[in-house]
Amino acid sequence: MTKTNQNLSDQKLNIGLAQIAPVWLDREATLAKIILKIEEAAEKNCQLVAFGEAVLPGYPFWVERTDGARFNSQIQKEIHAHYLDQAVQIEAGHLDQVCALSAKNKMAIYLGTIERPSDRGGHSVYASLVYINSEGEIGSVHRKLMPTYEERLTWSTGDGHGLRVHKLGAFTVGGLNCWENWMPLPRAALYAQGEDLHVSVWPGSYRNTHDITRFIAKESRSYVVSVSGLMRTSDFPKGTPHLDLILENSGDVLADGGSCLAGPDGEWVIEPVVDKESLMVATIDHARVREERQNFDPSGHYSRPDVTRLIVNRKRQRIVEIED
């Protein structure tokens, strides 16, 4: 390969969109599915693979199906306790196998998790988007800033610590969880740090991704990846607490996917894919970002920091700071 061709090759990135259903609220079984998809992505020479929101170990679909707002309900307590038991504790090594595969295959990973962190006492959970770099190191853990509607009955509110971007080849990648992608200021915080590949993760909903993916791409003049999960009644393990009640109020499909990829002009690279588990792969070219920034760059030449500026607090919020 000539030096010129090598330089052109360095501007491109192979990315994978892993649309899978969890083995709901079963961390180890879901991890096994995630590992298989990472290995498939490696076989397809992906340099980045992303998974949907809360896929490990699953989205709280029970809340709206089991009278979740009833105070002091024994049903809610039992399901919530099971949720915490199956959540991810990074410090306990639950993602070590994923990190090792990342390093082995020199592939970065975005993974939506339900995190049960010890730095907030170890008994609350957060919808956390974890970025693992191609060396197998966790680069950021972004806890969802504001859980949406019924999510607030089980997820805690996050902080700005994870509003970070990461260099990946020619690209600078960042990500947000689900409806955070509708929030202008978190998007602006990532744009201002140089983001030109945006990863938005969702529990699975074509009704969301088919609009916002292209909107963010046009606003940011970046590539935008929307990665969704799936959820079908067949994905509920038989041992799920109060399964009969959950299924009684559920259709066959609870989350239909909708993973997709838009280019920096807002046009589809991969149109939304629904109702099936799939690994979608595309090669993106950083030259397209630079071309589209010619007439609009939201944090560069088309910004007015003398008029409007954003302050971001990235301090990890804790209830106690101990000084020995």
Could you give the residue numbers annotated as active site?
53, 144, 178
Residue 210: which of 140, 258, 158 has the closest Cα? Answer: 258
Tell me, what DSSP letter sits at residue 88?
B
* Residue 103 phi, psi (nearest 5): -65, -45
Q: What is the C-alpha separation between 103 and 151, in angstroms, rounded? A: 33
Using an 8 Å Cβ cutoff, are 226 and 259 in contact? yes
β-bridge mates for residue 167, sequence order: 172
Amino acid letter, 227: V
- Ordered alpha helix ranges (H), the chain: 3-10, 27-43, 74-86, 96-105, 184-192, 206-220, 243-248, 286-292
The Cβ-side half-sphere exposure at 96, using a 13 Å CA radius, reads 5
267 half-sphere exposure, CB direction, 13 A CA radius: 5
Q: Which residue has the tokens 């690994």?
A: 279
Buried b (16+ CB within 10 A) or exposed e, 61-82: bbbebbebeeeeeeebeebbeb
